[in-house]
Amino acid sequence: MSRRLLMCAGFAIGVSVAAPAAAGPLDHPGYPKAFSCSACHGFAGNSRSDAMPILAGQHAGYLKKALQDYAGGKRPSAEMEPYAKMAIELGVDDVASYFASQTRMPTASAIDRAAAERGKAASAVCAACHGPTGKGDAAKDMPDITGQPVGFLKNQLLLFKADKRSPGDAALMQPKAIIKGLPDDTLADLAAYYASQR
Ligand code: HEC
Ligand code: HEC
């Protein structure tokens, strides 16, 4: 094969590599704005940690509300407040729509099947707002709690119970009153149930 032909072959390969592939997480305009979040929330918002929430596939309106609540100090979190302020500075709609458009990989946390069964039996009081399996409602900023890490869900339920999540928020009085009436063991079962849902 001549040198010229080899160059042509090389050029052809170069072109085929540069051909547009299916849009991936890196192609979204929100990706560069969400880059620093991956240190805690995992690549494309698919946290593999038991304590950190998964952001991938969450409703955009809820993500935006959560970031505004952290930034304004309404939902206290020393870890999140500076990042929420940064996300708002960079463009909260792009950041929220980036994570909302990613496919959720359910939690890698180990799930106790017996606890999840007990949680399912206790979940009727939650279904009115969170839906039959916990998918929430995008139109009402109701979060999708399916496949979230067990540890994260349990911790949030304990924060609601102690009125430490968005303390005093009138809009959350009703769920907090329900959660306050449940023993911690039942909250752990509910966390296992929603973590097991897909
Ligand atoms: C240093 C670690 C860390 C970094 C970096 C970080 N987060 Fe978080 N994030 C957390 C923790 C911890 C929580 C849970 C806080 C709580 O208890 O409310 C959280 C919660 C959230 C939630 C609420 C999720 C839910 O389901 O309620 C959103 C939304 C969020 N983070 C978005 C972001 C975005 C966007 C960035 C990047 C701009 C970011 N985070 C960077 C640690 C981090
Ligand atoms: C009256 C409606 C209502 C009921 C009933 C309700 N919730 Fe919620 N829940 C909400 C709303 C609204 C939020 C979002 C709060 C916010 O914006 O910070 C929420 C948030 C949560 C979160 C935090 C999700 C996240 O990603 O941060 C968990 C976990 C949760 N609920 C679990 C439950 C469980 C378990 C029950 C049943 C024991 C329940 N909820 C009952 C309305 C409700």
Cβ(79) – ligand 1 distance below 6 Å = yes
C-beta of 158 in contact with ligand 2 (< 6 A): no
Q: Which CATH number fits domain 109-198: 3.30.360.10, 1.10.760.10, 1.20.1260.10, 1.10.286.10?
A: 1.10.760.10
> Which pLDDT tens digit goes with each residue over 84-93?
999 999 999 9
**129 Cβ below 6 A of ligand 2:** yes
Q: State the pTM of this model.
A: 0.91
Give Cβ neighbours of residue 127 (< 8 Å, ≥ 6 apart).
none
The answer, yes or no, to whether residue 28 has pLDDT greater than 80, is: yes
Residue to mutate, 125, 130, 158, ligand 2, most ligand atoms under 8 Å from C-beta:
130
With bands split at pLDDT 50, 70 and 90, how would you rate the model's confidence at 29? confident
Measured distance CA(43)–CA(35) in Å, rounded? 9
Verify whether ligand 2 is closer than 6 Å to residue 190 (CB atom): yes
Mean pLDDT of 61-69: 98
Please name the residues in contact with 179: beta carbons below 8 A apart, sequence gap of 6 or more.
157, 160, 161, 187
The string of pLDDT tens digits covering residues 160-176 is 999 999 999 999 999 99
Place of tokens 């979190």: 77
As a whole-number percent, the residues of the chain with pLDDT over 70 amount to: 88
- The Å distance, Cα 61 to ligand 2 centre, comes to 15
CATH 1.10.760.10 in the chain, residue ranges: 28-105, 109-198
- Among protein residues, the one with the nearest Cα to ligand 1's atom 6 is 37
Q: Is 175 in the pocket of ligand 2 (CB under 6 A)?
A: yes
Question: Distance from the CA of 41 to the center of ligand 1, in angstroms?
Answer: 7
Q: What is the pLDDT of residues 69-78, one digit of tens each?
A: 999 999 999 9
pLDDT at 10 over 90: no
Ramachandran region, residue 65 (left: φ > 0; alpha: ψ -120 to 50; beta: rest): alpha
The CA-based angle 51-176-131, given to 5 degrees, is: 75
> Quick one: CATH architecture of 28-105?
Orthogonal Bundle (1.10)
Which residues fall within 8 angstroms of residue 161, CB to CB, at 6 or more apart? 176, 179, 180, 182, 184, 187
